[in-house]
């Protein structure tokens, strides 16, 4: 049930955006054990002046290919699962797009089961 928001520069192609999306989804299936059909994502295409970042942070250089990935998911995953997810996403994106691992910024926001509704105004996950 993660909800993923992806912020990418307008210069990336539709194929790049699809590859980024699938890299994230594959990582979530592998490391957070989500089902294949649990695929809720929004890609925000940004103009270069709308993606702001430093040239380097924590000694990690960034370029104009920088992307932001915000994953909202229920709490309960271990630090090891989160670290494996981040590495998986960054390496998969770097392998299939012009975006390097240095340019993959991931923000994980956690919440609880009552915080989700998948339609009909019902919190379907309550009681599961």
In 32-118, which ranges are continuous DSSP H helix? Answer: 79-96
114 given a catalytic annotation: no
Contacts 24+ apart (CB under 8 A), 54-60: 60/102
Tokens of 74: 């229920």
Q: At residue 118, does pLDDT exceed 90?
A: no
User: First-to-last CA distance in the chain?
Assistant: 13
Q: At residue 7, does pLDDT exceed 90?
A: yes
In 2-78, which ranges are continuous DSSP H helix? Answer: 14-31
Which residues is 67 bridged to in the sheet?
A: 104
Name the phi and psi angles at 92, rounded to 5: -65, -40
User: What pLDDT, in 10s, does the model give residues 52-98?
Assistant: 999 999 999 999 999 999 999 999 999 999 999 999 999 999 999 99
Neighbours of 27 (CB within 10 A): 24
- What confidence score (pLDDT) does residue 93 get? 98
- Structure confidence at residue 1 as a pLDDT band (50, 70, 90): confident
Query: Mean pLDDT across the chain, nearest whole number?
Result: 96
- Let me know: does 83 contact 123? Beta carbons within 8 Å: no
CATH architecture of the domain formed by 3-115: 2-Layer Sandwich (3.30)
């Amino acid at each position: 049930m993660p909800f993923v928001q992806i912020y990418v520069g307008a210069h990336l192609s539709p194929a790049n955006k699809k590859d980024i999306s699938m890299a994230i989804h594959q990582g979530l299936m592998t490391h957070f054990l989500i089902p294949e059909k649990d695929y809720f994502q929004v890609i925000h295409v940004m103009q270069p002046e709308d993606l702001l970042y430093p040239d380097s942070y924590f000694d990690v250089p960034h370029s104009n290919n920088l992307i932001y990935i915000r994953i909202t998911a229920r709490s309960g995953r271990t630090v090891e699962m989160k670290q494996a997810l981040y590495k998986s996403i960054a390496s998969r994106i770097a392998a299939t797009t012009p975006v390097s691992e240095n340019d993959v910024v991931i923000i994980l926001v956690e919440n609880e089961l009552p915080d989700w509704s998948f339609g009909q105004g019902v919190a379907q996950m309550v009681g599961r």
